[in-house]
Structure 1
Amino acid sequence: MRKYKMILVMLGICMGIFVSCENKTKKTKESDDILTGKLPVIVDQTLLPIIRESADVFESSYPNSSLELMARPEIKAVNALLSDSAYVVVLTRQLTNEEDSYFKKRGIQPKIFQMASDAVVLIDNRNSADTIMQQKDVKSLLEGNLGGQRLIFDNANSSTLRYLKDYFKLNKIDPKAVSALKDSEDVMKYVSENTNAVGVIGYNWYLKAIEKNSNLLDKIRTLSIESVGKEGEKASFYRPSQSTIADGLYPFVRPVYIMNYQPNMGLGLGFSAFLTGDRGQRIVLKAGLVPATMPGREIIIRDESYIK
């Protein structure tokens, strides 16, 4: 009898080990699933509209997935990535060598994909006399050498401010010449109420705001920016649009990257594949931005001789 009890105990132990291993394997498998689970995603707040729209479609297509979008100004977004708040981030620039070294030391090889091209746009009040702006005037505004107007940014740590500093190769700007608000919506509201201000926002924010509130078109507009050509050529000015961004005519164009720093296969890879795949690129195209890869068109050809 004692012998049988010992056998039962041993069988129970073996079953426990087997179930534990099976659960562990199952848990690992689920955590590695590219279309299942919960994923925090850090997003440059100037890109929030297009990423939010893409995330909504992704979640509706894959009900077992959940994306938590964490909107941050660019500097804070990078800091959040480096502090392991999340391992997937959407930015308008790649990490610097110094920032990237944090992941290299841990043996993490990032998966980086460009998903779209956006633009930094300047907006003003429709009652303002200006409809165009030379690049030298934009630079002068940043340096505080052009009185009477102020540049209004969505945040002091914004990617739009960093972009213009990099574009004009400025080490510093005049803090008295610029103002920073809470977000892009605040910038548009401020410009709609003030004629002496020039707002700086992401183009995708402008498009989404106009879509939601068409009355904004009666209050604000995008400025045409000088496109510097060869010396001696007459200057041309272009407003931001899908075509001028795609053709490189509008000068302040910036890439949009999704960067996956997950150490293993996971939902970050699935979301990246969605954004850069045909469906994700169609969302970008429909939103008015320029997709990194132009989605294909399906053409159905019918032989009329077989149609009665």
Structure 2
Amino acid sequence: MKKIAAYFIGLTVLFQLFSGCGSTPQAKEEIADIYIDESFKPLFETSIPTFESQIQSGRVIPHYVSELEAIEAFKNNQTKTICITREFTPEETKYLAGKNVEFTTDHIGTDALALIVNPACPDSAFTLDELKAIFTGKDSLWKSSGKKINIVFDQSNSSNFYYIYNLIEKQNLSPNISAVKSNEEVIELVRKNSNVLGIIGANWINDTRDSTLLKFKDGIKVCDIAYNKYSEYFQPYPAYIYNDVYPMTRKFYLINKGSRVSLYSQFVRFMTGQRGQMIIYKSNLIPSTMVAREIEIVQEK
């Protein structure tokens, strides 16, 4: 009996040894930290879960920051992929080349800046020259009430801020301009105050509960903008952005330095591919590889 017992114990030990030799350690899940201009948070809150559902493993962690913070994170190697509204400047490209950093830049879509006011505010149509006067402080009062125009944008060093700064050709900004912490905070501030002119990304203004009916969010009025006093006024609807009749449009990009097989590059290929472009399209932005769709426009009364 002792020999039989010893025989079974020996088999058990031998089995455990072979089992241990044949086992494969579980691969560590790849994580991609991507820094995204906060203007595009609604878009990526949809696209990232969709992408993750298409891959076998891996996780994308979004960091919603200002455009400048995204660029600095890229330069400091905190991330390999960023989403911003411009390409790198020659100076930035030279700096990265000095660090032997190779990167790709993909135009993935076009959006716009939107100006919003409270529904109680009757002043909601502006030409670009009128806006320049407001943003530089040359015109600081609402025409209808004579009260001070309080201008609010999402955060310092954001793409929205730089768009306005470049629009006024880097002149001094109005003392009536202030920043909060997000596009969402701008919307809430406008909902509560009739003297606020809010500056946000167009990705934030749409009520997308019904993708066949384009309707803006409740509690805000989206302003009509014209190139000049002789031009027609338009709101940032997709077709008007696509046809460039809405004056305040901009492209947005994914800049990537991840290896071709990395999760970062997989995500970029997803966003530039059919599925990602369709998500941009359904977010009422303009995909880089598709045309704008025809939809019913509901004008607020």
Q: TM-score range by the shorter chain?
A: 0.7 to 0.9
Alignment match, 1:52: 45
Alignment match, 1:244: 240
Q: Distance in 1 between matches of 2:75 and 2:206?
A: 31
Q: Return the offset for 1:202.
A: 0.3
Alignment match, 2:103: 110
Alignment match, 2:182: 183
- Matching residue within 76, 99, 114 for 2:69: 76
Alignment match, 2:273: 277
- Check whether the contact 1:141–1:177 (CA below 8 A) recurs between aligned residues: no
Please state if 1:255 is matched with 2:251. yes
- Check whether the contact 2:207–2:217 (CA below 8 A) recurs between aligned residues: no
Q: Distance in 2 between matches of 1:282 and 1:222?
A: 25
Please state if 1:162 is matched with 2:192. no
* CA deviation vs aligned residue, 1:10-55 (integer Å, no higher than 9, x gap): xxxxxxxxx9xxx9xx99xx89xxxx72111010111111122111
Q: Return the offset for 1:163.
A: 0.8
Alignment match, 1:99: 92
Alignment match, 1:223: 223
Percent identity between the aligned chains? Answer: 25
Unaligned 5+ segments in structure 2 are 1-20, 141-147, 292-301
Alignment match, 1:120: 113
Alignment match, 2:200: 201
Q: Distance in 2 between matches of 1:177 and 1:136?
A: 18
SS in 2 for 1:236: coil
Alignment match, 2:152: 152
Q: Distance in 1 between matches of 2:91 and 2:208?
A: 36
- Check whether the contact 2:208–2:215 (CA below 8 A) recurs between aligned residues: no
Q: Return the offset for 1:240.
A: 0.5
- Check whether the contact 1:210–1:216 (CA below 8 A) recurs between aligned residues: no
Alignment match, 1:43: 36
Q: Return the offset for 1:265.
A: 3.8
SS in 2 for 1:75: helix
SS in 2 for 1:237: coil
Alignment match, 1:266: 262
More helix by share: 1
Q: Return the offset for 1:294.
A: 1.1
Q: Distance in 2 between matches of 1:223 and 1:265?
A: 44
- Check whether the contact 1:38–1:67 (CA below 8 A) recurs between aligned residues: yes
Please state if 1:289 is matched with 2:285. yes
2:241 maps to a residue whose letter is: I
Q: Distance in 1 between matches of 2:104 and 2:88?
A: 12
Alpha-carbon spacing, 1:172–1:215, altered in 2? closer, same or farther (3 Å): same
Between stretches 165-174 and 43-52, larger displacement belongs to 165-174
* CA deviation vs aligned residue, 1:232-277 (integer Å, no higher than 9, x gap): x832111110100010110110111001022564112111111011
Alpha-carbon spacing, 1:71–1:209, altered in 2? closer, same or farther (3 Å): farther
Unaligned 5+ segments in structure 1 are 1-18, 296-308
- Check whether the contact 2:37–2:159 (CA below 8 A) recurs between aligned residues: yes
Task: Map 1:27-38 to 2 at 5 A.
Answer: 37-38=30-31
Q: Distance in 1 between matches of 2:288 and 2:160?
A: 20
- Check whether the contact 2:114–2:202 (CA below 8 A) recurs between aligned residues: yes
